[in-house]
Structure 1
């Protein structure tokens, strides 16, 4: 009798070859993206927390940047140790030591939680933007109520996401392996996904994670994204009629909400592209034997790098599509640069009165140049001001 090992229908030599090739570069690429993303998201937080920029949407975008930074900061030591310092596809007692595997355990749960919070914040962005476009209420009191409501929603999302992830925290366990040279290393317990040996708690936890943290928010993003597209299409038709009728002033006024809507649509679509496929792959891994080993794991690095790019790219979107964000950023950068210039090169001397006077005159001249430049810049784009609502 010939005993043959059944070949998995999901095994792909091409996919495994690509995974082996890309795995050699993933650590270095991800480190570069993380460093850039942390810097850009820090700038996002600084700009969006200015007094004139405090709106409900900006509040959500600020917290989105916070959790994006948290995700990337936790990814840096992970990528350095498990991809750059040691070979990607081999295990050893040094690479898989108990401290580092404990860190990996904490990192996996932490990053899954921050991703869950981020995608639900994207859902909140779509809902708040949709409600804003269809709400006739205006005024400072209404704005303040919406701002408070946005902050409450952020708190609810954070707390709910942690509760959703509790079953996921439980199923990750470490196993100790004794090696021949009396050394020890640690690996994760095999889940045996897609087989009869899968523990019910593991199945339940992964289904909850895929549905509540990936698929459901993606469906809500598609729903409200579609409503925003419908509203945007209607707004574009109105603008086209106004432009054809020669109402240029009205056209300029109606231009800003469309830019903001397009920007937010881009943000949430990026979440949809990165999160929905992962949710579907997790569901397939639960029910299809060997799917996790032959499909999900080889694609893991690709899903990670797409998520990191999504975390880092928002600054470019804000600068491209929001005049208010761009103007605030330029003012902050300009003020910081001129303050540093005045501090370094025009420090007055306390020893002589004439030197002190000369120093004060120089600082005053720098201040005048700064004010005139800012006034000139403000005049050129004052008629185009918008805000991320």
Structure 2
């Protein structure tokens, strides 16, 4: 397909789609962010409980904090940019331009932190089931906390080029606003100022083509594509290891049924992790594989689209803008639905959540209830 044909397709189909979807995007995003903010707040409250202390839950807590901050930041952006709420306010004021600049940096940074914490979660889980003897040493609480802090410290540096790619410009009244949205580097709603209004302040991308090209490659490859490839490999390895463990456990159980020596039975239980321990490990692994699958479903399309933009930069102005809101929504979905995943797949999470809810809400308490921690 030639460049002209691609431009025509995006201008016709893409822009037509954007004009329809953008009318509903703000309201959908706000509802999703409100749900996601509440859900991630619950995640933090539950996973940080003393009885839930583990390396895996520490990573999940750090992930929930990053997702919560992304959602809180996106609510005022969506309300002001995509809905009629506050439409009487000047969307082209200097204060709004400063907020958009902050939003672009803040949201991208914490979304990147969320991505790399997800990778860390997969690596920790793989070590736990592949090298169980070394898990307590490699993935102990201290190493986990250091890795989480490194993610929160290094990701802002990784996003550093994005900080310098935008600047606030003053334009005469009536000029279209090309405000930039961070999560997908996508152009926001366009509005025109009244004839005699004050000057407009907009966020404009730099004219340095080399810097823009570098940003596209950093965004699409280092922030999106590489994590997707790594998580795909780890997900396959986790699934294969899980199946291997299931087959081994079944063999051990069959062997134990014909073993009369109690010492051999105890040894077989230790090798298989025990019926109860092995089942809990499998449930944890399955939950995390589902979490990785959700991440890939929401992030991989963005990575591929970003890579296409890096290869053909002119598509950023034409095609990427047309589908930017959809990519934002996919990223928000990935950050919002973890609570549903935890509740549906983790008995420990459900039990701890119920206990916490009884303390907060006027519900009858259950006596003698003990909840085991979700171990790494």
Normalising by structure 1, we get a TM-score of 0.79
Answer whether contact 1:23 1:83 (CA < 8 A) is retained.
yes
Aligned mates of 2:256, 2:12 — CA distance in 1: 62
Residue 48 of structure 1 corresponds to 47
CA distance in structure 2 between the aligned counterparts of 1:212 and 1:319, rounded to whole angstroms: 32
Alpha-carbon contact 1:10-1:294 (below 8 Å) kept: no
The counterpart of 2:323, out of the listed 282, 299, 305, is 299
Distance between the aligned counterparts of 1:6 and 1:311, measured in 2? 37
Alpha-carbon separation, structure 2, partners of 1:138 and 1:161: 28
For each residue in 1:241-261, what CA deviation from the matched residue of structure 2 results, as whole angstroms up to 9, or x when unmatched? 4666786x9544422111111
Deviates more, 1:129-138 or 1:74-83: 129-138
Instruction: Report if aligned partners of 1:164, 1:209 keep a CA contact under 8 Å in 2.
Output: no
Q: Is the 8 A contact 1:126 1:264 kept in 2?
A: yes
> 2:169 — aligned with what?
175
Greater mean alpha carbon deviation, residues 149-158 or residues 179-188: 179-188
Residue 92 of structure 2 is matched in structure 1 by 96
Give 1:135's aligned residue.
131
Distance 1:289 1:137 in 2: 49
Q: How does 1:23-102 map to 2 (within 5 A)?
A: 23-85=22-84, 94-102=90-98
Task: Check 1:319–1:243 CA distance in 2 against 1; reply closer, same or farther (3 A cut).
Answer: farther
3-state SS of the aligned residue for 1:96?
coil
Alignment partners' CA distance in 2, 1:87 and 1:244: 68
2 CA distance for matches of 1:239 and 1:297? 52
8 Å Cα contact 1:130/1:228 also seen in 2: yes
Out of 188, 213, 220, which is 2:203 matched to? 188
Distance 2:86 2:305 in 1: 26
Q: Report Cα offsets for 1:276-329 as digits up to 9, x if no partner.
A: 322232232233254123321111111111111111111111111111111111
Structure 1 position 235, deviation (Å): 2.0
**For residues 316 and 132 of structure 1, what CA distance do their matches in structure 2 show?**
24
| Closer, same or farther: CA 45–86 of 1 in aligned 2, 3 Å | closer
Name the TM-score, length of structure 2 as normaliser. Answer: 0.81
Q: Please state how far the C-alpha of 1:110 moved relative to its aligned partner.
A: 0.8
Matched positions, count = 338
- The structural deviation recorded for 1:230 is 1.2
- Give the Cα–Cα distance (whole angstroms) in 1 for the partners of residues 355 and 137 of structure 2: 24
Pairing partner for 1:324 from 342, 348, 355: 348
**Alpha-carbon distance between aligned partners in 2 of 1:100 and 1:388, rounded to the nearest angstrom:** 45
Partners of 1:95 and 1:119 lie apart in 2 by 31
Displacement of 1:100: 0.7
The aligned counterpart of 1:349 is: none
Give the Cα–Cα distance (whole angstroms) in 2 for the partners of residues 52 and 87 of structure 1.
44
Alignment-derived partner of residue 350 in structure 1: none
Give 1 or 2 for the bigger CA radius of gyration: 1
Q: Which runs of 5+ in 2 are unaligned?
A: 174-194, 258-268
**Displacement of 1:189 after TM fit?**
2.2
